[in-house]
A and B are shown apart, each in its own frame.
Chain A
Amino acid sequence: MKKVLEGSHAVAEAVRLARVQVISAYPITPQTHIVEILSDYVTTGKMDAKYLRVESEHSCMAALIGAQSTGIRTFTATSSQGLALMHELLHWASGARLPIVMAEVNRALAPGWNIWNDQTDSLAQRDTGWIQLYCEDGQEVLDTTIQAYRLAEIVNLPAMVVLDAFYLSHTYEPVDVPDQDEVDRFLPPYKPAFILDTKHPYSLSPLVTPNAYMEMRYDIAMAMDDALGQFDRVEEEFAMIFDRRYGAVEAIDCDDADIVFVTSGTVTSTGRLLLEELRPRGEKVGVLKIKLFRPFPVEAVRRALGKAKKVVVVDRNFSFGASGIFAQEVRAAICNVPGHPPIFGYIAGLGGRDITVQLLEEIYFDVKGSATPRKESIWVGLQEVNRAT
């Protein structure tokens, strides 16, 4: 049924439809609407679940590790500082092979205090062994959350559904909310092989010496590689029932494009408007949306960017001392392709500053007029900065 929902509400609906049994969360702006709705669903019996009102994000993830290890489906949502506090246990969740699903609302890290949109929080967790899925609109948020359970439970790895603060979490859009029986057809009950069970007493996550640790890590690496193919399979199954699919990447007008923008999150929508603006003026521009960030879809990125003369990566994040993080990943993906196009890295929109069509257009003409990148990262829309000495 079509409803007009906030992005946050779309997440909550998906969690309800996924028949999650334990939810734990600690409030942080701009994640709060998600967990307030879920708390209400549990209280009013719309969901048959427990809601653990824990005293920190760290305890939240620990509680989910305990609950998921007991053999049931779990959920949390967080953002920024909260995700950073969870960091230790993000590694634990993947190492323990627990398919926990989390919604992560991209918000800037302090200081200074800033509640607005920025991707550095989730991208700083890229090495924790979590699948990461970046969403563009409310429908995609709902669909991806349901798919995340299916994918995570196939490969036994946790998954993070990432949505932009406010631009997506607090924006109302028409969203098709599927029926429970349709979702049940897509998402079977969770049946893990090893759980805490007094009839079959296993010791989970014990001490592991050097003669076994590396094999366990290799197994995680194989599972993450497997997730790439499984993602396509899950999307295929989802499309059969719901007639919607997104792709690990989406190449928009890339086939004949000289210049391709690489985007993620809601900036992709702005990129779509840029194409509407520039294509009629004869500019050969395309957009490559990256949805699946971990595992990184290297082959798909190579295919989509192979014909471009120049590639522009717009990063709403930054790794100090290096560059924009998507730019790093794209460079790494195509560096071994002979004659690959130059990568122009642009940093924009940090801490919730708007990325407009006009800004993308400025970037486009800047790139068009440059044979090679002036710098590894070009920060756009900057006011004059007085550097502290």
Chain B
Amino acid sequence: MQLDALDKELMCSGHVGCPGCGATIAMRFVLKALGEKTVMVLPACCWSVIAGPFPQSSLRIPVIHTAFETGGATASGVRAALDMKGDTETTVITWAGDGGTFDIGFQALSGAVERNEDFIYACYDNEAYMNTGIQRSSSTPYGAWTTTTTGADWKKLRKKNIVEALVAHRIPYAATANIAFPEDLIRKVKKAKAIKGSKFLHIYASCPTGWRIPSEMSIKIARMAVQTNIFPLYEVENGVNYTINYKPKEYLVREYFKLQGRFRHLKDTDLDQIQEMVNEDWWLLLRKAGEHA
């Protein structure tokens, strides 16, 4: 497969991600799509560690590490300063986990996109606070075990629909992407780079450590998330124009859940209920895209 991206690697070997880490795969593709004229804002997340300790770095672009809840705000400042220096060409990208995006950083993100700051906000979503040891976030899906939703207290609340929250801000571009679909991911990153204003990318990034899956299953699980409609690939322009990028054939969520240790406790009746939720979300999306039969 030939990817339409930079041959050069802007992420080096020697990073300290876990084997099979989806967040590292996502970073590699995104940097290949963005190229060297990129400044990265990195609020606290797995990547604060993965990048490597001082004085080393596995990233060959300028990076500013920043506090957990500041992804949107720090990027606003970097953008403003670059503009004042006459540099409107360099892309500013915030690279945050789901905790820094869905939860603690949501206010700063909402503020930045309401101001339509010219930057890309990329959330690599591994569906829990993985860096601190698998605690639940508002991105953790219904049914999941985490270290703060254990035993009978497995999470019985839906995952926050972050893309719809961003779409509600009517930003120029919001899209989902997935490490198992690199061509689609790279196309979306390049598209975001070319658009002026606030762009949001929600990137599915599997986590073998936190999901209790073998590391070699990372891509397979990610692909199944799209094939089951659990994580549909779509993009929204200006808060209204929906495009669904991939329409799977009928595929049952059960198979996705059965492969992951974090869902081991779920009964068939729970899985039936989850299937209904996924179907409902998919129909809602089809309707927004004007494709509802």
Which A residues contact B (CB, under 8 angstroms)? Answer: 21-22, 24, 48-50, 52-56, 58-60, 62-72, 74, 88-89, 92, 196-198, 200-209, 212
The reply to whether B66 and A62 form a contact with Cβ atoms under 8 Å apart is yes
Which single member of B59, B67, B69, B112 contacts A203 (CB below 8 Å)?
B59
Contacts of B57 in A (CB 8 A): 203, 206
The 10 closest A-B pairs by CB, nearest first: A66-B77, A55-B111, A70-B81, A63-B77, A59-B73, A62-B70, A62-B73, A67-B77, A66-B74, A67-B81
Minimum CB–CB distance from A15 to chain B (whole Å) comes to: 15
Q: Which partner residue on chain B sits nearest A89 by CB separation?
A: B67
The reply to whether A53 and B66 form a contact with Cβ atoms under 8 Å apart is no
Which single member of B41, B54, B61, B72 contacts A212 (CB below 8 Å)?
B54
Tell me the B129-152 residues at the A interface (CB within 8 Å).
none
B60, B84, B107, B110: most-surrounded residue (chain A CB, <10 A)? B84
Tell me the B67-120 residues at the A interface (CB within 8 Å).
67, 69-70, 72-85, 90, 107-108, 110-112, 114-115
B52 at the interface (CB under 8 A from A): yes
Q: Which partner residue on chain A sits nearest B50 by CB separation?
A: A207
The reply to whether B67 and A66 form a contact with Cβ atoms under 8 Å apart is no
B196 at the interface (CB under 8 A from A): no
- Bound complex: CA of A188 vs CA of B86, how far in Å? 20
The reply to whether A67 and B80 form a contact with Cβ atoms under 8 Å apart is yes
Minimum CB–CB distance from A129 to chain B (whole Å) comes to: 15
Given A58-B70, A198-B62, A209-B53, also A63-B80 (CB < 8 A): yes
B36 at the interface (CB under 8 A from A): yes
Contacts of B215 in A (CB 8 A): none
Contacts of B62 in A (CB 8 A): 196-198, 200-204
The reply to whether B84 and A72 form a contact with Cβ atoms under 8 Å apart is yes
Which single member of B38, B41, B53, B70 contacts A198 (CB below 8 Å)?
B38
Given A63-B77, A71-B85, also A196-B107 (CB < 8 A): no
The reply to whether A70 and B115 form a contact with Cβ atoms under 8 Å apart is no
Which single member of A48, A50, A88 contacts B67 (CB below 8 Å)?
A88
Given A55-B114, A198-B38, also A205-B51 (CB < 8 A): no
- Bound complex: CA of A388 vs CA of B210, how far in Å? 49
Given A59-B107, A62-B74, also A196-B80 (CB < 8 A): no
Minimum CB–CB distance from A383 to chain B (whole Å) comes to: 41
Q: Which partner residue on chain A sits nearest B82 by CB separation?
A: A70
The reply to whether B84 and A49 form a contact with Cβ atoms under 8 Å apart is yes
The reply to whether B77 and A65 form a contact with Cβ atoms under 8 Å apart is yes
- Bound complex: CA of A207 vs CA of B15, how far in Å? 13
B165 at the interface (CB under 8 A from A): no
The reply to whether B70 and A89 form a contact with Cβ atoms under 8 Å apart is yes
- Bound complex: CA of A380 vs CA of B113, how far in Å? 50
Minimum CB–CB distance from A78 to chain B (whole Å) comes to: 14
Contacts of B59 in A (CB 8 A): 201, 203
- Bound complex: CA of A89 vs CA of B67, how far in Å? 8
**14 other contacts beyond A58-B70, A66-B79, with CB at 8 A cut-off?**
A50-B84, A54-B111, A54-B115, A56-B108, A62-B74, A66-B73, A66-B76, A67-B81, A69-B64, A69-B78, A74-B77, A201-B59, A201-B60, A212-B55
Interface residues on B, range: 35 or more
Contacts of A196 in B (CB 8 A): 39, 62, 64, 78
The reply to whether B52 and A54 form a contact with Cβ atoms under 8 Å apart is no
- Bound complex: CA of A225 vs CA of B79, how far in Å? 34
B65 at the interface (CB under 8 A from A): yes
The reply to whether B36 and A198 form a contact with Cβ atoms under 8 Å apart is yes
Which B residues contact A (CB, under 8 angstroms)? Answer: 36-39, 41, 48-49, 51-55, 57, 59-67, 69-70, 72-85, 90, 107-108, 110-112, 114-115
The reply to whether A59 and B70 form a contact with Cβ atoms under 8 Å apart is yes
Q: How many A-B residue pairs have CB under 8 A?
A: 156
Q: Which partner residue on chain B sits nearest A53 by CB separation?
A: B115
Contacts of B78 in A (CB 8 A): 66-67, 69-70, 196
Contacts of B82 in A (CB 8 A): 70
The reply to whether A205 and B77 form a contact with Cβ atoms under 8 Å apart is no
Contacts of B75 in A (CB 8 A): 66
Can you list 10 residue pairs at the A/B interface with Cβ under 8 Å?
A22-B77, A22-B84, A54-B115, A58-B73, A59-B73, A59-B108, A62-B70, A71-B81, A198-B39, A206-B48
- Bound complex: CA of A66 vs CA of B72, how far in Å? 10
- Bound complex: CA of A70 vs CA of B74, how far in Å? 11
- Bound complex: CA of A338 vs CA of B67, how far in Å? 46
B41, B62, B78: most-surrounded residue (chain A CB, <10 A)? B62
- Bound complex: CA of A202 vs CA of B56, how far in Å? 10
B51, B61, B74: most-surrounded residue (chain A CB, <10 A)? B74
Q: Which partner residue on chain B sits nearest A23 by CB separation?
A: B80
Contacts of B69 in A (CB 8 A): 58
Given A53-B115, A55-B114, A198-B90, also A205-B66 (CB < 8 A): yes
- Bound complex: CA of A88 vs CA of B74, how far in Å? 14
Minimum CB–CB distance from A194 to chain B (whole Å) comes to: 10
Which single member of B52, B55, B66 contacts A66 (CB below 8 Å)?
B66
B38, B41, B73, B108: most-surrounded residue (chain A CB, <10 A)? B73
- Bound complex: CA of A267 vs CA of B59, how far in Å? 53
Given A69-B78, A196-B78, A206-B53, also A92-B85 (CB < 8 A): no
Contacts of B73 in A (CB 8 A): 54, 58-60, 62-63, 66
Minimum CB–CB distance from B46 to chain A (whole Å) comes to: 11
Minimum CB–CB distance from A12 to chain B (whole Å) comes to: 19
- Bound complex: CA of A166 vs CA of B124, how far in Å? 47
Contacts of B55 in A (CB 8 A): 212
Minimum CB–CB distance from A206 to chain B (whole Å) comes to: 5
- Bound complex: CA of A21 vs CA of B83, how far in Å? 10
Minimum CB–CB distance from A108 to chain B (whole Å) comes to: 25
